Chains A and B, each alone.
Chain A
Amino acid sequence: MAAPERVSAGAEVRLQGLTKLFGPVVAVSDVSITVPAGSFFTLLGPSGSGKTTTLMMVAGFVHPSRGSIAIDGIDVAALPPQKRDLGMVFQSYAVFPHLTVAENIAFPLEVRKVSAADIRRRVGEVLELVRLTGYERRLPRQLSGGEQQRVALARALVFHPRVLLMDEPLGALDKKLRGHMQGELKRIQRHLHVTVIYVTHDQEEALTMSDRVAVMRGGRTEQVGTPAELYESPVSPFVADFVGESNFLDGLVVSTNPDGSAVVRAEGGLELRGVSREPLQVGQRVVAAVRPEKIVPQEARDSELNRGKGVVDQVVYVGDATRYAVALGAAGTLTVKVQNRLASRPLAIGDLVELAWDAGDTRLFARAVP
């Protein structure tokens, strides 16, 4: 970066018991999250999970029914959006269509009565940061979606907010451009040390960009953790399914070990070893989750491995890998993902195959008693 950008240290954002009711509908329920200063924090969830409502409460567009929002320890719940000094990037970009790129970016500085010379300098700097130098005099309708998004980002950063809120900012871009913009966002965030609260329903986006992720479901936070924690040790089948992808097998606990592992008998007599976060009892109904790429089609001799015999039902070539659906009889069908290497022998539909996977990669979740 050639232009010396003033480093604006990010602020810590602390949500405490945040709740929003729309009439009888609970949109957000008792959300308590601490976003460390300067970190990239993502609210991840399906539509209707309350992630956008939570963000809108932080921004000030939605008033919480209960709970507090503190930025660097100062409660902002009573402040209107324009007094919170937060940058915000909207899903629809919300670039002012009647103003040029430079005028759009100058807007937050003008309403703050920054001098014209300073405005010119800072607009130039931030345009360089988002790599749009030379676009000053263009109108938004002369820009592509990705360029408009950069303008929206520049506009939200130019006044050095300590927190940047982003509501599915890349949702309208195509896959390739989205990947590129993800990298750009991370680069800018690291450069400015700004705290980012990012809303998305795209788990891949959440995993690649975030320092920490809160998985939301039905207005609650299901799990908060680093991407690796969410992926490797999900707390619930929902997280195991929503973050990444999992195979699920129903079963009963037949024995438990003091180290937290247990043996489970699935439908059709298949015996599995797995690990659980909570202690399980013999006879308890559980769900075992295992990720498709953890399963290897091979002759398993190691007794520590889980094994299953099945018939290849479906073969889907996805470029870097091949996905197989393998029917295990009464236990169900497992999805298996195998990296495509020259050495790997491709399977065909109807092939008999033995599958093996590590007990440590098998997460056991107690099923709610019906």
Chain B
Amino acid sequence: MKVDGIALVTAPATAADRRETRQYLLLLLPALLTLGAFFVYPLFGILLRSIYKNGYTLESYRQVVGTSVYLMVIALTFRTAAVVTLIALLLGYPLAYVLATVRPRLARVLVVIVVLPFLTSIIVRTYAWMVLLGRNGVVNHYLQALGLTDGPLRLLYNQAGVVVGMTYVLLPFMVLTLASAMRGIDPALLRAAHSLGASRWQAFRRIFLPLSTPGIAGGTLLVFILSLGFFITPALMGGPSDVMIAMLIEREVEFTLNWSFASTLAVILLLLTLVGFAVYYRLMRLERLFEGLG
């Protein structure tokens, strides 16, 4: 019988133990150096730059908080990310379900189809959507031909265009994360549910769906965070009012050369993302995801 919470007996550290610990740290060194050089140092640089402008100051932060336009952009960014995440989940879940439950050979083909867009440039894919969604694009053409609308719909250069474009680009991340979690669900569990009298819907609702929550948590988190920093698609497919925070940062860096302010925006985005992550972690009990437990 297993007992919960096994008491760990720790012997006092001996010199040999300490030497062993030092050796392990030595093995970690390359990884720590890489992390430091490519992640910690640049991040620290951004943090520093955000509070330094001819001397240390919180001027930039005050400017962001005090200007309604910036706050609106941040709000719009989070809202867009949330909408994109939700749509990607709704579209991706059935697709992932199929991917996870069909015969292995068919599943491999489907995975290739899902991943294929990754192999083409995101700019090419975005322009393709612009062709499809334009005033005289394919979608409007068929909508009118079928008599569903009288005139061409505005599908581009507005929020709708941004959401469509971003969802398309991010959908594979959602599908692959969901499918890998679903593949970990033992099919015998569903058979067991049926043998116990559960209908297909009951078995899905009571067994499959709860067991796929680690995938839902992982997929939505990944898509949401990627959405927050999205740049190319909203820049090309959005209208003048669909400014996302990444576009704001780009503008500061490219045109006004106000790197300090760009850094401030980046730090705010990072902090808000971390806060969101922390809340989410508590809500979805993400530790289960990282433990790899269903």
- A interface, CB within 8 angstroms of B: 59-61, 80-82, 85-88, 90, 92, 94, 96-98, 107-108, 111-112, 141-144, 147, 152, 155-156, 159, 165
For A81, give its contact among B4, B189, B195, B206 (CB under 8 Å).
Answer: B195
Could you tell me if B199 and A111 are in contact, using CB atoms closer than 8 angstroms?
Answer: yes
Could you tell me if A98 and B198 are in contact, using CB atoms closer than 8 angstroms?
Answer: no
CA A142 – CA B3 in complex, angstroms?
Answer: 7
- The residue of chain A having its C-beta at the shortest distance from the C-beta of B1 within the complex is A144
B192 adjacent to chain A (CB < 8 Å): yes
CA A159 – CA B196 in complex, angstroms?
Answer: 8
CA A103 – CA B210 in complex, angstroms?
Answer: 14
What chain A residues lie within 8 Å of B188 (beta carbons)?
A: 90, 92, 94
Could you tell me if B197 and A111 are in contact, using CB atoms closer than 8 angstroms?
Answer: yes
What chain A residues lie within 8 Å of B293 (beta carbons)?
A: 97, 141
Contact with A along B1-43 (1 / 0, CB 8 A): 1101000000000000000000000000000000000000000
Could you tell me if B189 and A82 are in contact, using CB atoms closer than 8 angstroms?
Answer: no
Could you tell me if A96 and B195 are in contact, using CB atoms closer than 8 angstroms?
Answer: no
Min CB distance, B4 to chain A, in Å? 6
Could you tell me if B195 and A142 are in contact, using CB atoms closer than 8 angstroms?
Answer: no
Min CB distance, B185 to chain A, in Å? 9
Could you tell me if A82 and B195 are in contact, using CB atoms closer than 8 angstroms?
Answer: yes
CA A143 – CA B2 in complex, angstroms?
Answer: 6
What chain B residues lie within 8 Å of A112 (beta carbons)?
A: 197
Known: A98-B210, A147-B1. 13 other contacts (CB 8 A): A59-B195, A60-B194, A60-B195, A82-B194, A92-B186, A96-B193, A98-B211, A107-B193, A108-B198, A111-B197, A142-B2, A144-B2, A156-B196
Min CB distance, B114 to chain A, in Å? 27
CA A60 – CA B194 in complex, angstroms?
Answer: 10
B63 adjacent to chain A (CB < 8 Å): no
What chain A residues lie within 8 Å of B210 (beta carbons)?
A: 98
Contact with A along B176-208 (1 / 0, CB 8 A): 000000000010110111111111001000110
What chain A residues lie within 8 Å of B207 (beta carbons)?
A: 96
What chain B residues lie within 8 Å of A108 (beta carbons)?
A: 196-198
Q: Report the interface size class on chain B.
A: 20 to 34
What total of A-B pairs shows CB separation below 8 Å?
A: 72
Min CB distance, A256 to chain B, in Å? 53
Q: Quick one: which of B196, B202, B206, B293 has the most chain A CB within 10 A?
A: B196
Could you tell me if B2 and A88 are in contact, using CB atoms closer than 8 angstroms?
Answer: no
For B191, give its contact among A85, A90, A98 (CB under 8 Å).
Answer: A90
For A94, give its contact among B189, B198, B211 (CB under 8 Å).
Answer: B189
Could you tell me if B191 and A111 are in contact, using CB atoms closer than 8 angstroms?
Answer: no
Q: Quick one: which of B188, B193, B195, B202 has the most chain A CB within 10 A?
A: B195
Min CB distance, B182 to chain A, in Å? 14
B294 adjacent to chain A (CB < 8 Å): yes
CB within 8 Å for A82 and B191 given contacts A92-B186, A143-B2, A144-B2: no
- The residue of chain A having its C-beta at the shortest distance from the C-beta of B202 within the complex is A111
Could you tell me if B197 and A97 are in contact, using CB atoms closer than 8 angstroms?
Answer: no
Could you tell me if A87 and B195 are in contact, using CB atoms closer than 8 angstroms?
Answer: yes
- The residue of chain A having its C-beta at the shortest distance from the C-beta of B288 within the complex is A98
CA A85 – CA B195 in complex, angstroms?
Answer: 7
CA A108 – CA B198 in complex, angstroms?
Answer: 7
What chain A residues lie within 8 Å of B199 (beta carbons)?
A: 82, 111
- 12 A-B residue pairs with CB within 8 Å: A82-B196, A82-B199, A86-B195, A88-B191, A90-B192, A98-B294, A108-B196, A111-B197, A112-B197, A156-B195, A159-B196, A159-B197
CA A211 – CA B193 in complex, angstroms?
Answer: 29
CA A81 – CA B211 in complex, angstroms?
Answer: 22
What chain A residues lie within 8 Å of B191 (beta carbons)?
A: 61, 81, 88, 90, 94
In order of increasing CB-CB distance, the 4 nearest A-B pairs are A94-B192, A108-B196, A88-B195, A94-B188
CA A144 – CA B186 in complex, angstroms?
Answer: 18
CA A44 – CA B104 in complex, angstroms?
Answer: 31
What chain B residues lie within 8 Å of A82 (beta carbons)?
A: 194-199
